[in-house]
Chains A and B, each alone.
Chain A
Amino acid sequence: MGFLDIQNVTKSYGQVEVLHQVDIAVEEGEFLVLVGPSGCGKSTLLNMIAGLETITSGEISIKGRVMNGVHPSKRNIAMVFQSYALYPNMSVAQNITFGMEMHNVPKEDQQTALQDVAKLLQIENLLDRKPGQLSGGQRQRVAMGRALVRDPDVFLFDEPLSNLDAKLRVDMRTEIKKLHEKLKTTIVYVTHDQIEAMTLSTRIAVMYQGYVQQLGTPKEIYDSPANVYVATFMGSPAMNVVPAKIAMQDGTPHALVKIHDGSEQMLRLEQNNLSEWDGKDILLGIRPESITDPDGADRNSSNIVSLTNRIGVTEPAGADTYVTMELGGKEIIARMRADANVQSGDIFQFAVNMEKAVAFDPATEMRIKP
């Protein structure tokens, strides 16, 4: 029984089910991020927690109290919207105290709470302004202030950073993280940005087509993706997923992959339960940072395999140099150190950290569990 419990929740519009049997238990103080592409149902789920959308079946409870049918204002939640949704005709101070005013909080208490929040978010000098006179980042702070001042059980964030420019987004991301670590509040946060999901969350729910594809800590999601979708969605550049064939040799499984000239190379796999896949096709997933130049290979890894292949193009990106190559008939990306000596067209010996490689069943696209 979690602090916020989502049990077997589904959502249908008429005959169409858009959210299927979602089951998530959020502990107190947890930062849960719902991440997925547009239309995956993440915002719908958030709106159902907020009470802005009805629950077709299943149950949502907060602190053990069932919330189905309870009015949004009686759930003790606060929400930060994508467009900030500040009331344009009210000053910043009025925006922040509006909720307390609606709940008949005495004037003095309102003022104390307002001052506390304004101080926390450093917006004390903006309190008399109208939202129209604020910059994007300031509006964002006010929107958070309006949520914070309520002292709710659960905070809901609906893509709060997507309207900000790139630099401000990174700053605000850090601030939200700091705020969470300081206040230890329970947060459900919706985003389509996998970097936000990775950096902010204590747990991530990756959603796609109305299903929760995987629920886990950022590390679990990144290192042990449950299926090809999660593997390629999380991480930038995306994980390389290439067709390969399993060959058993001396009792250990190897992945046979085609390189640029059509010949095959053997990559020893770490996973030891693949004997029944001997001779069968799999999908091999390798993250770009697991394919490096030999000097850049992870020294702590127990399974570095060398791979000779021709370099397609090189893309220096400052901190790293990305290299493309053909593997298993697909173009894949490798991530070198910035000053790795690579030239396009060269035959190069790469080092592949097979400890981090994952195998998928090509038929179901699910991970072959180790």
Chain B
Amino acid sequence: MAVAEQDTAIRTGTGTRIFIYGILLVFALFYLLPLFVMVANSLKPLAEITGGNMMALPESWTIEPWKQAWSSAQIGVEPTGLKPYFLNSILMVVPAVAISTILGALNGYVLTKWTFKGDTIIFGLLLFSCFIPFQIVLIPMASVLGKLGLAGSIPGLVLVHVVYGIGFSTLYFRNYYAVFPTELVRAAMIDGAGFFRIFWRIMLPVSGPITVVCVIWQFTNIWNDFLFGASFGGQSQPMTVALNNLVQSSTGVKEYNVHFAGAILAALPTLLVYIVAGRYFVRGLMAGSVKG
């Protein structure tokens, strides 16, 4: 499982090493450049940017753009900053991730250990949601949300994301549990454990890696979603929509430093999730593909 710890198959000379590292360094710089521009410009006064020096480090450092982006920038017509929208995003993403992951785990458990006639068809249908473009469902979804009285609310967004998330979370857990020995489930059945007890006591304790994968995947997808947020957010729009409204405003001065700060704020949670749980991500994705 620990692919990173394997010995390399090919021994390379010093010259080749320098060449490889040199190329890697160039690529790393290339990819880090936008981040540098964002961070640097978010920490300088607007005058320095409009003065035409995008690439330079700030001459006078300031965190004022961050404060503005967080609490006082003009979002649409209200000068609220991104704070309330950030909160909206959190309120949406946490339950949506939790519910879709739990449902995915249960689905995976049923589809592998409590198989029934037609289970592969059900699984196939669930997988459809991984492939259907979001745009197709906008109108039917709007009508359903309207009938449920959830239009323009956070619970409505949670529902939408859960429905869309189940496909992927089921796929993850089903494949993970497919290689989980069925004899363990049978042993637990004979021991007298029921459906949920087997799930809770036997399956879940060994599902760590795949849960991390699922959570990261769902979190980034839901957090970064713009389309559903813009379409169904109503009065409780998520961070992504607010960021758009901040950056795309067509009136007044374009405060690039505030925009940069806002963009970083919007990306921060997903970055954090990756940094904290990233190594489990790779491990979890590899699980099942290699035995042991």
Binding site for B on A (CB under 8 A): 50-52, 71-73, 77-79, 81-83, 85, 87-89, 98-99, 102-103, 146
Contact = CB atoms under 8 A, between A and B. Distances in A.
Nearest to B197: A102
B206 A89 contact: yes
Nearest to B191: A99
Contacts of B205: 89
Contact of A72 (B181, B190, B197, B206): B190
A88 B206 contact: yes
Interface in B160-198: 181, 183-184, 186-193, 197
B206 A52 contact: no
Nearest to B186: A52
A87 B202 contact: yes
Q: Which 4 A-B pairs have the closest CB atoms?
A: A73-B192, A102-B192, A99-B191, A89-B205
Contacts of B186: 50, 52, 72, 79, 81, 85
B188 A77 contact: no
A52 B197 CA distance: 17
B193 A83 contact: no
Nearest to A158: B183
Specify which of B184, B189, B191 lies most central, judged by the most chain A CB atoms within 10 Å of its CB. Answer: B191
A81 B192 contact: no
A139 to B, nearest CB: 13
Given A87-B202, A88-B206, A89-B205, A103 B192 contact: yes
Nearest to A150: B191
B251 to A, nearest CB: 59
A103 B190 CA distance: 11
Interface in B204-254: 205-206
Nearest to B182: A85
Contact of A77 (B190, B193, B197): B190
Contacts of A88: 184, 206
6 contacts: A50-B190, A52-B186, A81-B186, A87-B184, A98-B191, A103-B192
Contacts of B193: 73, 98, 102
Nearest to B184: A85
B190 A73 contact: yes
A15 B105 CA distance: 34
B190 A78 contact: yes
B188 A98 contact: yes
Contact of A83 (B181, B188, B192): B181
A98 B189 CA distance: 11
A51 B191 CA distance: 12
Contact of B183 (A51, A85, A89, A146): A85
B206 A102 contact: no
Contacts of B191: 73, 98-99, 102, 146
A322 to B, nearest CB: 39
Interface residues of B, number: 16
Nearest to B189: A72
A96 to B, nearest CB: 10
Given A72-B189, A88-B206, 19 more contacts: A50-B186, A51-B190, A52-B186, A52-B190, A71-B189, A72-B190, A73-B190, A73-B193, A79-B187, A82-B183, A83-B181, A85-B186, A85-B187, A87-B188, A89-B205, A98-B191, A99-B192, A102-B191, A103-B192
B188 to A, nearest CB: 7
A269 B95 CA distance: 84
A88 B202 CA distance: 8
A57 B252 CA distance: 82
Contacts of A81: 183, 186-187
B184 A52 contact: no
Contacts of A98: 188, 191, 193, 201
B181 A85 contact: yes
Nearest to A156: B190
A78 B206 CA distance: 24
B96 to A, nearest CB: 28
B222 to A, nearest CB: 30
Contacts of A52: 186, 189-190
A72 B184 CA distance: 14
A103 B191 CA distance: 8
Nearest to A98: B191
Contacts of A79: 186-187, 190
B189 A73 contact: yes
Nearest to A73: B192
A92 to B, nearest CB: 14
Nearest to A87: B202
Nearest to B185: A85
A131 to B, nearest CB: 10
A366 B188 CA distance: 43
Specify which of B186, B187, B205 lies most central, judged by the most chain A CB atoms within 10 Å of its CB. Answer: B187
Nearest to A47: B186
A79 B191 CA distance: 9
Nearest to A99: B191
Contacts of B188: 87, 98
Contacts of A78: 190
A210 to B, nearest CB: 22
A83 B183 contact: yes
Contacts of B197: 102
Contacts of B192: 73, 99, 102-103
Nearest to A104: B192
A87 B190 CA distance: 13
Specify which of A79, A81, A102 lies most central, judged by the most chain B CB atoms within 10 Å of its CB. Answer: A102
A103 B184 CA distance: 18
B224 to A, nearest CB: 34
A44 to B, nearest CB: 13
Nearest to B202: A87
A99 B205 CA distance: 18
Contacts of B181: 83, 85
B116 to A, nearest CB: 13
Contacts of A77: 190
